[in-house]
Structure 1
Amino acid sequence: MLFCTAILTQSCSRKKDKFINRQFHALGTKYNVLYNGNIALQRGIEGVNDEFTENFWEPLPIERMDVSEDIFLPGQTKNADFERAEEKAIKAIQTHGMNIGGKEKNPQIDEAYLLLGQARYFDQRFVPAMAAFNNILNKYPTSDKINQVKIWREKTSMRLDNNVGAIEKLTRLLREEDIEGQDLADASAALAQAYLNTESKDSALAQLTIAAENTEIKREKARYHFIKGQIYNEFGKKDSANIEFDAIIDMHRQVPRSFYINAHIEKSNNFDALNGNEIEFEEFLAELEENRENRPFLDKIYYRIAEHHRHKASDSLSEVYYNKSLRKTTSDKYLKSLNYETLGNMYFDRNSYKTAGAYYDSTMTAMVDNTKPYRVIKKKRENLVDVIYYEGIAQTNDSILRMVSLPKAEQLAIYTKLAEDQRVRALEAQKAQEAALERQTSQPIMTNIDQRKSRNVRSVNGPPSISRGSQSKAIQTKNSTRNVNNKNSSFYFYNQTTVAYGKNEFLKIWGDRKLQDNWRLSSERSSMANTVANDSLTDTVVDDIRFNPDTYLASLPTEQIELDSIAKERNFAYYQLGIIYKEKFKELELAKTRFENLLENNPEDRLILPSKYNLYRLYVELGLNRKAEAMKTAIINEYPESRYAEILLNPQSELSKDENSPEAIYTKLYKQFENEEYTAVIAEAETQIKRLEGDNFVPKFEILKASAKGRLYGFEAYKKGINYIALTYANTEAGKKAQDIISNAFPVLAKKDFVANDAANKFNVIFQFENNAGEDIEAFIKTLDEEVAKIDYFDLTTSKDVYDENTTFVVVHGLKSIGGANGFAELLKSGEKDNRGRVAKPKITRPYFAISSPNYAIIQRHKNLNAYLDLE
């Protein structure tokens, strides 16, 4: 016994290079520490695989691992299993390492470092993982795991974005070393990933072929074939892609079902609709749909069937399958967004814009915010608001004008049929409602006696055993919820539906009776008899105005002014729709139709020329050269002085960018606005609004004109202009901006009450000039600037501000109090002393007034200077 103990004690030593010591530590490392560490590593890898969701809509990665960008502090880990595997590897190195004379005598330590590196790699700590793999390469070059270590090191190198270095070293490894089996598959797969990272997909295909042939893991084999199929599809080589997908299909239950189904779907996407057997293909899709094993993937199968029918122009059938796909519970948000977007596009093409908008809203809920696809759909949805608005106007007004144009007899016939249809539907709805009420009231009501009998039966059977405390709690709960449960009670007056039915029945039989004694014998008995005699569904609805055709006839406009207004509104809606379809949606056919419809309806002059020019551009883009040439000739002959004619006569001049273009004119006018040339801005803006009628730039000129009027004439003029823009251009950017100003800015701008001076911290001195007095304002400003420059204890500035058409202010800014402002102005008037102490003649003698900055803003906004001066 003592001998065995001595042998065991001696074998525990890591400093003795003896056979028994080496074997003891090697066995302990392999079958204890590393065994448990490898179990933890495999458990962690399975967790990573479980968390990873295959996205078959995009090229699959060769390795199943989502790299997170989360930052962890030293000592922190993402996965407890990898942490345990790392701890076991470190324990093996620290407690069983036998570094004697600079050489490691324990043959299992290299595997401990390999475990350490793998644990760190899957834990996404790539720099420490690289250190572990390099340690093996430096200290254990003869390790039997050396090839695996080299592969893992290059995989880690790729994670650190060193793809070029990984390609070089993996290529050398495959060329110089005799690698086979799973190691060859792993090396080839890693090299393929490096090629994919560098967009060298041709080279990646060759390596994936080697990896698929040599791997022993069916899941990996299926993955490699699927990636090859995706690459071949990208290259347009459908036959080669189908061979790869067939390889997966042939493995059937040996691979995950997701690969099997998606291989079928990808292969079906390559079906040649022109030359293929469509009957067989539809049978294949039906078989996929009916296979019970495919139920978890029906969302994607339904989508594929829907796509097939849509490409066959079977829109109704495809819509059924898109909705089937949506109804299946799925975590595939991308598929949901595809279904919603496709349905939205289908309804958009049918001109059902409200429904299309609803589908686009649903599309965005299934997309990642602020991504490019999300922004595209969002912009399309926002543009659809204008389409819905203008299409509604166009359809409604067209319907009214069409009806008004018909003879009275035809109008009466149409509205008679409409009224009769309304009456029939109302009768059917009322019958259904009363039948439902009768069924509900015919249900047996449990009386108090029945309830007592029920309780007695329960007492015979015996109540469940409960404690006294539980009984008390149950009683409290019952009392507290009694009122809530009353609405669900069978007692007549607790059921609102039966009460409503009873009231209706009373009114039908007795009429509207007063609450009084002997109400049955009252003078209203005759009305009761009439009600009973005429108690029929028809009589209850016969007086509804909806069922009288004269109601609809009376609603038709008859005055020519009103009809002209409806036609004008309809025409403008057509114009806006043409612009929206052309510019925002690139729906050229729809745009062409709207412009042509507009020109057929005798539009006002301002819409004719821009509509014709837009039609010319559409004809050119659609290849309708004969129509385009005819329209070009019409524009040049009928409007020779227009800018459109200039563009058509000299298209190379880029007239749209020269001084006559709306953009250039607006830019020039805005600079005048900044220079406070408000009168000139208003006049030129009005000229351009008339010249550019129908152009998209007109609302911008309207905004500029309203702003200039506000600066010159005050808040009321500005308010009038902004209200006009909000109503006239409601669905343009300018109209929306105007509406925002009305909602948010007007309540603040409308305030006229002056602010107390002690509530302000900035003050001004104002010198007032009359514009027609012939005074030299510029000379005064020059002198004022010279005097202000001498004041170094204030940071003062001057400006020239327009007050109204007749008055200009010269303003000194930067004073800190009302007293300081008055004192500064008096200082300017007092003059300076010369070297002999004599007071020189002051340079600034003009009258002034001091005012706080908030009050100055108010008098400029409301032009109420006299009201302010009266307060002084």
Structure 2
Amino acid sequence: MLIFTIQHNICCGLQLSINQIEPTLKSSLKLILSVLGVVLLFTSCSRKKDTFLNRNFHALGTKYNVLYNGNLALEQGKASINDAFTENFWELLPVERMQVTDEIILPGQSKNQDFERAEEKAIKAVQVHGMNIQGKERNPQIDEAYLLLGKARYYDQRFIPALEAFNYILFKYPASDKINTAKVWREKTNIRLENNELAIKNLKRLIEQEELNQQDLADATSILAQAYVNIKAKDSALAQLKIAEANTKNKNEIARYNYIQGQLYNEFGHRDSANIAFDKIIELHRKIPRAYYINAHLEKIRNFDYAQGDKVTQLEYLTDLEEDRENRPFLDKIYREIAEFHLTNEKDSLAEVYYNKSLRKNQGDKYLNALNYTTLGDMSFDNAKYKNAGAYYDSTMTNLKLNSRPYRLIKKKRDNLEDVIYYEDIAQRNDSILNLVSLSEEDRLAVFSDFVKDLKRKATEAREKEEAAKRQNSGLVTSDKVKSSTQLTARANPKGKTQKSDFYFYNQTTVSFGKNEFVKIWGDRKLQENWRLSDKRTSSESDSTEELTAGASEDELYDPQFYMAKIPSDQKVIDSLIKDRNFAYYQLGIIYKEKFKEYDLSKDKFKKLLDNNPEERLVLPSKYNLYKIYTLLNDNTQAEIYKSDIITNHADSRYAEILRNPASALASDENSPESLYEKSFENFENQEYAKVIEDCEKHIYQFEGDPMVPKFEILKASAKGRLYGFEQYKNALNYIALTYPNSPEGKRAEQLIQTAVPALSRKDWYKDDDATNFNVIYQFQNNSEEDIDAFMERLNKKVEKNTYFDLSTSKDVYNEDITFVVVHGLKSIGGAAGFAEIISDKEDKDPIVRSFFAISSPNYAIIQRHKNLEAYLESQ
């Protein structure tokens, strides 16, 4: 601009002179002056000449054109990432409001077009206006260009290229007035690259050795605080944040630094200091974003001292926040704090109301949802409402990051509830059915007559709601609604054409039909979280109603006789219901006692069980558990009653032995389930499969109801598979998965059915060319008088002499009648047959002459698994 002004003044001055010259000379002078102007313009554009005009021409063009537009693009990009960033006030805030993602950016690509444009402008400034003459940059704006380049790359999360730009400034422009700013940005980048120790070292040196302006000092100390937080030196971070807050003039930064200070003070347990920091934010009020202001209030509320504080004033404080219209976007968090206040004051019903309000008002904060569902789940758990607790924990997990630590903790809680929910359902259902069985015909008719009346009432209410919805949506639209619809259609069709809009919500008939269909399918549902599960369909009462009405025609639906006919009359069915109900009571007693330490609940279940005349095998363990429960409850009188009962009426039992001799531990008792399982497992390893099956069946009956029973079942299944083959193994796994679905063994069986069983079902033979290991098999009858061990001793001597292969032998049970002696480690089918022929050579001192067959290891696994030896031999 200056150059153009000088040129213009020169030209104007010369023009005045020309006017005074003779007309004949005017044309010649104009030509000369025009040539001089063009030469002057071109010489000032040169980047190779270090003149006043050249430097200022390029400096002004860089500053007011290229860098100006580049900085505008940078600010637009920063605004866009600020808008996209969701602040997590539940955790310690980062010093800089920027979300770093793991998305991989290829060279030449950019996450944000604004930053890409800013980078292009910075590069253009260097390429078009750079004046690198004799190794020195003469354009004073180029360092600004490199600073813009580094910032654009930094915000675009390309930190290595950004670091290169900042380092270039430090290397090439040590006298720049932006040198300290470049140093600060370099260390910000180092922190993003997790070079925290290096950043701390450089920043401390910068602060100590340089005279920084206020904003540079605020920036340096704030990012130094972030580095300290990253290395867990939070006390040092606190000191730096105080300096940053005192030196910055940016109100948003003041609020942020104070908020982080308050969070750190809370971590250290200094609530008073934290509240001072939060008060500084509250004082800024409308000068800062509302989120800082509200969350500062909420943090102060969480720091309230319930032991000594004024609860009335605190409730007024919460009520004021709730009623302030400006706080509507934050009602979800405010409602949670009100709920926490009531919960702490033991007003559980009020607390539950506000937790649910918080859930309904939630603005998409999943962590807040998780907190609310967890608290509601814990409240249900503490009130022994385990089914409700399980549902709340399920909702919690949907709002947590999969496999995160909080997710795993909630999942563990939920898994612990699986058994109690399962057995409570069985107990309640069977109790209801057995209660109906015990009623007379007249009483049953009265029960189902009332049930039918209730069904009719509900059907009438539903029909009335549906008719009301139809009337509301049948096209009887008010003039205001018609006007609104017309305006919407006009927006969709600005040209004023009369064609009908295709958009769903512009068509009142379509909307009405959709609403009616929704009501018909789902009923009258409230707008709230998990609305599909929030109505009558979630209750056990509704579940039982749906089960009763299943398959009913229109006439049968309101006929009491239809439901009375469903009551079981077969004694076998009734006995099965009683048995399942009693077993459920026993399992609930064990679960409440062992898992949840709910001794009163456990006691009630065991006593109900004994009152219901259970099977004999459940009586003794129930009495022993009641003895243990009363001991834990310090009710020695009742404990002594059950102790005497066990010693008197079950004198030969292991429980009686334990009570007579308390010093003997259950685990070391030779007759304990644990000890017997270990013996059975030893027999399994010794391939005594028939004995394992027999012993397991005996112990399963003996210890029914004990947690060890599923272990005996899975051991028996494995023994059956080894002795009888794949089908027996698969059937045994199915039985375990269905009978013990909530035990670890039941879940393991289900997993095996899904994964291992399909792979084990193969019966097709593998080609010998595809195998790498082969075996020689010698077959023995189990009932013969031949000594298998003596044969193996002779065979081992032959194997030891072989130095070419790494051979080994084993004795494998095939079935109840046949045992194999196997030589392992041969490398071909011919080699296996050849080895057997060599050791049978009659010229040998002790030849092993016995029939054999060679087989690959994969095919040997198939004949052991499916017991199809004959099929294999026929195929050869």
TM-score bracket for this pair, using the shorter chain length: 0.7 to 0.9
Partner of 1:286: 319
SS in 2 for 1:202: helix
CA pair 370-173 structure 1, distance change in 2 beyond 3 A: same
Q: How far, CA to CA, are the matches of 2:152 and 2:804 in structure 1? A: 70
Moved more, 183-192 or 17-26: 17-26
The answer to whether the 8 Å contact 1:636/1:645 transfers is no
CA pair 861-99 structure 1, distance change in 2 beyond 3 A: closer
Q: How far, CA to CA, are the matches of 1:6 and 1:777 in structure 2? A: 113
How far off its partner does 1:191 sit?
1.7
Q: Indicate which of 111, 121, 138 corresponds to 1:78.
A: 111
- State yes or no: 1:424 paired with 2:428: no
The answer to whether the 8 Å contact 1:822/1:850 transfers is yes
CA pair 827-569 structure 1, distance change in 2 beyond 3 A: same
Partner of 2:811: 800
Partner of 2:403: 370
The answer to whether the 8 Å contact 1:764/1:813 transfers is yes
Partner of 2:129: 96
Q: State the Cα deviation string for residues 67-122 of structure 1 (Å, max 9, x = none).
A: 22233333333222222222322333333333445443332222222222222222
Partner of 2:780: 769
Structure 1 letter corresponding to 2:376: L
Q: State the Cα deviation string for residues 469-519 of structure 1 (Å, max 9, x = none).
A: x99x99xx9xxxxxx99x98xxxxxxxx9xxxxxxxxxxxxxxxxxxxxxx
- State yes or no: 1:176 paired with 2:196: no
Q: Indicate which of 546, 568, 577 corresponds to 2:588.
A: 577
Note the 1:264-303 alignment, pairs <5 A. Answer: 264-303=297-336
- State yes or no: 1:673 paired with 2:673: no
- State yes or no: 1:137 paired with 2:170: yes
Partner of 2:342: 309
SS in 2 for 1:809: strand
CA pair 68-668 structure 1, distance change in 2 beyond 3 A: farther
How far off its partner does 1:189 sit?
0.9
Q: Indicate which of 255, 269, 286 corresponds to 1:253.
A: 286
Moved more, 15-24 or 811-820: 811-820
How far off its partner does 1:60 sit?
0.5
How far off its partner does 1:693 sit?
4.9
CA pair 795-657 structure 1, distance change in 2 beyond 3 A: same
Q: Indicate which of 536, 540, 546 corresponds to 2:560.
A: 546
Moved more, 820-829 or 22-31: 820-829
- State yes or no: 1:193 paired with 2:223: no
How far off its partner does 1:394 sit?
2.6
CA pair 634-96 structure 1, distance change in 2 beyond 3 A: farther
The answer to whether the 8 Å contact 1:607/1:693 transfers is yes
CA pair 58-311 structure 1, distance change in 2 beyond 3 A: same
CA pair 373-675 structure 1, distance change in 2 beyond 3 A: same
Q: How far, CA to CA, are the matches of 2:160 and 2:425 in structure 1? A: 62
The answer to whether the 8 Å contact 1:760/1:852 transfers is no
Partner of 2:524: none
CA pair 169-590 structure 1, distance change in 2 beyond 3 A: farther
Partner of 1:846: 850
Unaligned runs of 5+ in 2: 1-32, 476-492, 503-508, 514-519, 521-553
SS in 1 for 2:89: coil
Unaligned runs of 5+ in 1: 447-463, 478-483, 489-496, 498-539, 833-838
Identity %: 57
Structure 1 letter corresponding to 2:330: F
Q: State the Cα deviation string for residues 713-738 of structure 1 (Å, max 9, x = none).
A: 45676566556544543432323444
- State yes or no: 1:779 paired with 2:793: no
Note the 1:438-587 alignment, pairs <5 A. Answer: 546=560, 551=564, 555=567, 568-581=579-592
How far off its partner does 1:371 sit?
1.7
Structure 2 letter corresponding to 1:546: P
CA pair 180-629 structure 1, distance change in 2 beyond 3 A: farther
Structure 1 letter corresponding to 2:327: N
Q: How far, CA to CA, are the matches of 2:154 and 2:470 in structure 1? A: 71
Q: How far, CA to CA, are the matches of 1:657 and 1:226 in structure 2? A: 59
How far off its partner does 1:172 sit?
3.0
The answer to whether the 8 Å contact 2:455/2:558 transfers is no
CA pair 282-793 structure 1, distance change in 2 beyond 3 A: same
Q: State the Cα deviation string for residues 630-673 of structure 1 (Å, max 9, x = none).
A: 7998799788984997799888x998599988667645643542
The answer to whether the 8 Å contact 1:333/1:367 transfers is yes
Q: How far, CA to CA, are the matches of 2:245 and 2:659 in structure 1? A: 63
Structure 2 letter corresponding to 1:156: T
The answer to whether the 8 Å contact 2:624/2:646 transfers is no
CA pair 634-565 structure 1, distance change in 2 beyond 3 A: farther
The answer to whether the 8 Å contact 1:416/1:548 transfers is no
Q: How far, CA to CA, are the matches of 1:438 and 1:239 in structure 2? A: 60
Q: How far, CA to CA, are the matches of 2:241 and 2:766 in structure 1? A: 81
CA RMSD of aligned residues (A): 5.0
Q: How far, CA to CA, are the matches of 2:698 and 2:229 in structure 1? A: 61
Q: How far, CA to CA, are the matches of 1:437 and 1:69 in structure 2? A: 51
Moved more, 606-615 or 393-402: 606-615
Note the 1:314-329 alignment, pairs <5 A. Answer: 314-328=347-361
CA pair 84-870 structure 1, distance change in 2 beyond 3 A: closer
The answer to whether the 8 Å contact 1:635/1:644 transfers is no
The answer to whether the 8 Å contact 1:760/1:853 transfers is no
Moved more, 162-171 or 97-106: 97-106
Q: How far, CA to CA, are the matches of 1:765 and 1:568 in structure 2? A: 52
The answer to whether the 8 Å contact 2:58/2:139 transfers is yes
Moved more, 721-730 or 170-179: 721-730
Q: Indicate which of 63, 87, 93 corresponds to 1:54.
A: 87
The answer to whether the 8 Å contact 2:436/2:444 transfers is no
* Count of residues in Structure 1 that have an aligned counterpart in Structure 2: 773
SS in 1 for 2:144: helix
CA pair 557-396 structure 1, distance change in 2 beyond 3 A: farther
SS in 2 for 1:810: strand
The answer to whether the 8 Å contact 2:779/2:818 transfers is yes
- State yes or no: 1:208 paired with 2:212: no
SS in 1 for 2:122: helix
How far off its partner does 1:268 sit?
1.8
CA pair 439-248 structure 1, distance change in 2 beyond 3 A: closer
The answer to whether the 8 Å contact 1:578/1:594 transfers is yes
Structure 1 letter corresponding to 2:451: Q
The answer to whether the 8 Å contact 1:635/1:645 transfers is no
Note the 1:519-668 alignment, pairs <5 A. Answer: 546=560, 551=564, 555=567, 568-581=579-592, 590=601, 594=605, 606-607=617-618, 642=654, 656=667, 666=677
Structure 2 letter corresponding to 1:113: Y
CA pair 179-623 structure 1, distance change in 2 beyond 3 A: farther
TM-score scaled by structure 2? 0.74
How far off its partner does 1:747 sit?
8.5
The answer to whether the 8 Å contact 2:281/2:293 transfers is yes
SS in 2 for 1:773: coil
CA pair 185-795 structure 1, distance change in 2 beyond 3 A: closer
SS in 2 for 1:161: coil
Q: How far, CA to CA, are the matches of 1:150 and 1:170 in structure 2? A: 8
How far off its partner does 1:430 sit?
5.7
Q: How far, CA to CA, are the matches of 2:466 and 2:270 in structure 1? A: 66
Structure 1 letter corresponding to 2:560: R
Q: How far, CA to CA, are the matches of 2:316 and 2:272 in structure 1? A: 21
How far off its partner does 1:703 sit?
1.6
Moved more, 415-424 or 141-150: 415-424
Q: How far, CA to CA, are the matches of 2:101 and 2:754 in structure 1? A: 45
CA pair 237-603 structure 1, distance change in 2 beyond 3 A: farther
